[in-house]
Structure 1
Amino acid sequence: MNIIDELTWRGAVNQVSDEEGLRKLTEEKSVSLYCGVDPTGDSMHIGHLIPFMMLKRFQLAGHHPYIVIGGGTGVIGDPSGRKTERQLQTIEAIHDNADKLKAQFIHLFGEDSNITIVNNYDWLSKLDLLGFLRDYGKLFSVNVMLAKEVVASRLEAGISFTEFTYQILQSIDFEHLFAHNDIQLQIGGADQWGNITAGIDMIRKIHGSEAQAYCLTIPLMLKSDGTKFGKTAGGAIWLDPEKTSPFEFYQFWLNQDDADVIKYLKYFTFLNQEEINDLEQTVQTEPEKRIAQRRLAEEVTTFVHGKKALREAQNITIALYQGSIANLTEHELEQAFGKMPTVTVGPEEKDVVNWLIDSTIYTSKRQAREDITNGAVTINGIKITSLDEVVTPHKNSNGRFVIVRKGKKKYTLARVQN
């Protein structure tokens, strides 16, 4: 299957500047293409991941992807999708974020694979004002720039000259990569259409009207209820395991709605058409088993965090579902309970009733005794039945944690302070 046909089947094509020409080009040779990301933060979230999954598909089809980290454009700030001016960051913060994003991409794509990572600060920082205005400013019509949706949507509220020029800088990126790296295709989100086509126009003005440069954008990802994909009550789902643990990441995919899961399998996994069709059948015939959701969670967690992190996420899920956390490791305990209600306790060993009162997990000794007697309290995965039980840290926590469960689902993490 041609890569354009595959992307179309996966629902991953929004607009193409010249579909017939791009299809022919990708069939004739290995094409170099790129997608960019500005280092305005120190991690990507799963919304950022979508176009880079497309890069990965091109890579697997034998093409040569480039990732452009916007160390230069990030200093300016892309106005796309924003109603107000972006708060500018320091150059030092941008460079630090760029290093962290590069490490994420190396992890996702592999250091020795057929992919190149570059930073547009390397060429944009060498521009001088007069050269910028003479060599590039003359190629852009203000009338055309004002008509671009990304600018037009900001005119009422106002847009600075700094953000207004962003599309010129992005166009310079495309022309530079076209001229120096033989890159003929740029891909991006649906909101990048105006910026990318501006780059194609610049390339043809500089290199001639027959220059083969193409644009492919990806649809805005929405859930079946029309809301934005990738956010939860707790905020964005990050790729950085310190921001979103692999367990939380796994749970996000595991809890997707039946109406969305097949779309996400097409977007976010490398399963083939036959496999996804089979999973679609299970959604229709055995929805209660959530086979498709489980496969989605396994595939995406492995891609982003690796097989070891997937096993840990699955161990935690099984332990919580079965109510048996006694054998979880220290790292698994941190992932499972790190964001649950937390108290701090001292290292002194006490009988369970006094410990529960002193930790503030209970405020009534009578209620604590009653719940223990009724078997409603477990500590570190073990049901407490004796009022004389002495509380000690979880056996695998290196003395750091006590995990208390009241009833079936109400957990509290007690951090032991030495």
Structure 2
Amino acid sequence: MQVYEELVARGLIAQVTDEERIRDLVNNGKAVFYIGFDPTADSLHVGHFMALCLMKRLQMAGNKPIALIGGGTAMIGDPSGKTDMRKMMTKETIEHNVECFKKQMARFIDFSDGKALLVNNADWLLNLNYIDVLREVGPHFSVNRMLTAECYKQRMERGLSFLEFNYMIMQSYDFYMLFQKYGCNLQFGGDDQWSNMLGGTELIRRKLGEDAGAMTITLLLNSEGKKMGKTVSGAVWLDPEKTSPYDFYQYWRNVADADVLKCIRMLTFLPLEQIDEMDKWEGSQLNKAKEILAFELTKLVHGEEEAKKAESAAKALFGAGNAAEIPAVELSAADFAEGEGEKLDILSLLVKAGLAKSRSEARRAVEQGGVSVNDEKVTDIRMSFAANEIPAEGLVIKKGKKNFKKIVVA
């Protein structure tokens, strides 16, 4: 099975401009393709994960990826899927975020020996002359047609600023520039980017008389139709400082039964034959599938050693592994000095461990019987500990069925 057929079999392809042409380019290693990443945060997140995996798959098949960092477009903001206008970012913030992206992308893409390129669209967008854009690009875009695009229709009722209205033109101009500068013949992106991507192929055709292709990736949605990669506390990040390898592992370990096999098919590099066999799994076997999914994705993002640690920690929490692997929170004597009588009560410990956002949330968890310390249920919200009362091996605090932390004293 060639790479294009594998992408189809994994359910990754949503829409294509010319399937036969794109199949030929991809299967024969002739695709020079780009995917854009707007640096709106200082870390990539699970929403970018599928795009990075696609770039890796296609590079392994001999194609050349271009990772386009949107240092210029980030100053405008993509209205796709948004009900409100994005917050404007400073140039310094964008530059910092770009550097963070570069480091994370290197885990997925081989940039050595010209095998891939990392390009910033600020290099051409920030120096554009407004009159030149109006004259050279403006005539090739129909406002009537642009307003039928899904990314704009969603915003029309709430109000679409002229700033955001230009986003499609800027993204199209990116493709036009990459085609000329680097021979980029394909653009890939999420299915919500289809209108913007068609704008680029049309601009290349009108300005240069050449054909370029576009292909969208199926959006990663759960069985309820919501985008995956979000938790109660926010996005699931690829930066271990923002989402620990253990928490990243646990996110995938806890996906719904209805979603696990789809995620394995779309996101992992396991052979399709193995996944086809897993499609028959049900009941308790789905828990094994979740462990496989969590391990494979944690290994991709954080490396095999961190994946093994996260796996061991998860098993330890459910009584089948080494308790030394439980994620630890280190407190100092100064932390205990904050409490009454130099003791911290259970509510403070829950907050400091990151198991509750506030004391009131911690109080509710205790009162509802959802908290235990070293496997003993806590019923008294006044239970407290001094630093010298914490065992050398730590104190394991559990909130609910799946949230554990070990308190240790420095």
Which residue in 1 is equivalent to 2:254? Answer: 255
Which residue in 2 is equivalent to 1:176? Answer: 177
The question of 1:358 aligning with 2:348 is answered no
Cα separation, 2, equivalents of 1:177 and 1:313: 40
The question of 1:67 aligning with 2:67 is answered yes
Which residue in 2 is equivalent to 1:399? Answer: none
Cα separation, 2, equivalents of 1:278 and 1:256: 20
The question of 1:294 aligning with 2:291 is answered yes
Which residue in 1 is equivalent to 2:317? Answer: 320
With normalisation by structure 2, the TM-score equals: 0.82
Superposition pairs for residues 103-252 of structure 1, below 5 Å?
Answer: 103-112=103-112, 114-208=115-209, 211-252=210-251
Cα separation, 1, equivalents of 2:400 and 2:162: 58
Cα contact 2:67–2:117 (8 A) shared by 1 = yes
> Can you list the C-alpha shifts for 1:44-65, whole angstroms capped at 9, x where unaligned?
2112212222111111111111
> Can you list the C-alpha shifts for 1:14-39, whole angstroms capped at 9, x where unaligned?
11111122113334442110100100
Cα contact 2:343–2:387 (8 A) shared by 1 = no
Q: Aligned residue pairs: how many? A: 373
Which residue in 2 is equivalent to 1:278? Answer: 277
Give SS of 1:322's match: coil
Distance verdict in 2 for CA 1:110–1:360, change over 3 Å: same
Cα separation, 1, equivalents of 2:234 and 2:305: 25
Cα separation, 1, equivalents of 2:10 and 2:325: 38
Cα separation, 1, equivalents of 2:148 and 2:88: 25
Give, in angstroms, the shift of residue 107 of structure 1.
Answer: 2.4
> Can you list the C-alpha shifts for 1:99-131, whole angstroms capped at 9, x where unaligned?
111111012324437321111111112211122
Cα contact 2:373–2:395 (8 A) shared by 1 = no
Give, in angstroms, the shift of residue 212 of structure 1.
Answer: 2.6
The question of 1:311 aligning with 2:327 is answered no
Superposition pairs for residues 3-18 of structure 1, below 5 Å?
Answer: 3-18=3-18
Name the amino acid aligned to 1:345. Answer: F
- Over the matched positions of the two proteins, sequence identity in percent amounts to 39
Cα contact 2:295–2:308 (8 A) shared by 1 = no
Which residue in 2 is equivalent to 1:333? Answer: 328
Distance verdict in 2 for CA 1:346–1:111, change over 3 Å: farther
Distance verdict in 2 for CA 1:149–1:227, change over 3 Å: closer
Give, in angstroms, the shift of residue 346 of structure 1.
Answer: 4.2
With normalisation by structure 1, the TM-score equals: 0.81
Give, in angstroms, the shift of residue 200 of structure 1.
Answer: 0.4
Distance verdict in 2 for CA 1:408–1:31, change over 3 Å: closer
Give SS of 1:68's match: strand
Which residue in 2 is equivalent to 1:93? Answer: 93
Cα separation, 2, equivalents of 1:68 and 1:12: 21
Cα separation, 2, equivalents of 1:276 and 1:37: 30
Distance verdict in 2 for CA 1:290–1:107, change over 3 Å: same
Give SS of 1:82's match: coil
Name the amino acid aligned to 2:241. Answer: E
Give, in angstroms, the shift of residue 288 of structure 1.
Answer: 4.4
Which structure 2 residue ranges, 5 or more long, are not aligned? 349-371, 376-385
Give SS of 2:147's match: helix
Give, in angstroms, the shift of residue 390 of structure 1.
Answer: 9.6
Which residue in 2 is equivalent to 1:54? Answer: 54
How much is the aligned-residue C-alpha RMSD, in angstroms?
Answer: 3.1
Give, in angstroms, the shift of residue 244 of structure 1.
Answer: 0.8
Cα separation, 2, equivalents of 1:115 and 1:323: 43
Cα separation, 2, equivalents of 1:404 and 1:272: 38
Which structure 1 residue ranges, 5 or more long, are not aligned? 349-353, 364-375, 380-388, 397-401
Cα separation, 1, equivalents of 2:325 and 2:221: 36
Give, in angstroms, the shift of residue 311 of structure 1.
Answer: 1.9
Cα contact 2:46–2:237 (8 A) shared by 1 = yes
Name the amino acid aligned to 2:268. Answer: T
Give SS of 2:84's match: coil
Which residue in 1 is equivalent to 2:351? Answer: none
> Can you list the C-alpha shifts for 1:75-118, whole angstroms capped at 9, x where unaligned?
11111111122111111111111111111101232443732111
Cα contact 1:47–1:230 (8 A) shared by 2 = yes
Which residue in 2 is equivalent to 1:371? Answer: none
Q: Which sits farther off after the overlay, 162-171 or 125-134?
A: 125-134
Superposition pairs for residues 336-415 of structure 1, below 5 Å?
Answer: 344-346=335-337, 358-361=343-346, 378=374, 391=388, 395=392, 402-405=394-397, 414=407
Cα contact 1:32–1:66 (8 A) shared by 2 = yes
Cα separation, 1, equivalents of 2:187 and 2:78: 16
Cα contact 1:10–1:267 (8 A) shared by 2 = yes
Distance verdict in 2 for CA 1:412–1:6, change over 3 Å: closer
Distance verdict in 2 for CA 1:223–1:390, change over 3 Å: closer
Distance verdict in 2 for CA 1:118–1:278, change over 3 Å: same
Give, in angstroms, the shift of residue 362 of structure 1.
Answer: 9.1
The structure with the larger Rg is 1
Cα separation, 2, equivalents of 1:118 and 1:57: 20
Distance verdict in 2 for CA 1:377–1:391, change over 3 Å: farther
Q: Which sits farther off after the overlay, 199-208 or 270-279?
A: 270-279
Distance verdict in 2 for CA 1:405–1:178, change over 3 Å: closer
Give, in angstroms, the shift of residue 317 of structure 1.
Answer: 1.3
Cα separation, 2, equivalents of 1:170 and 1:390: 56
> Can you list the C-alpha shifts for 1:277-314, whole angstroms capped at 9, x where unaligned?
12223x23x63462211111111000000012112212
Give SS of 2:221's match: coil
Cα contact 2:52–2:105 (8 A) shared by 1 = no
Which residue in 1 is equivalent to 2:265? Answer: 266
Give SS of 1:159's match: coil
Which residue in 2 is equivalent to 1:385? Answer: none
Cα contact 1:68–1:117 (8 A) shared by 2 = yes
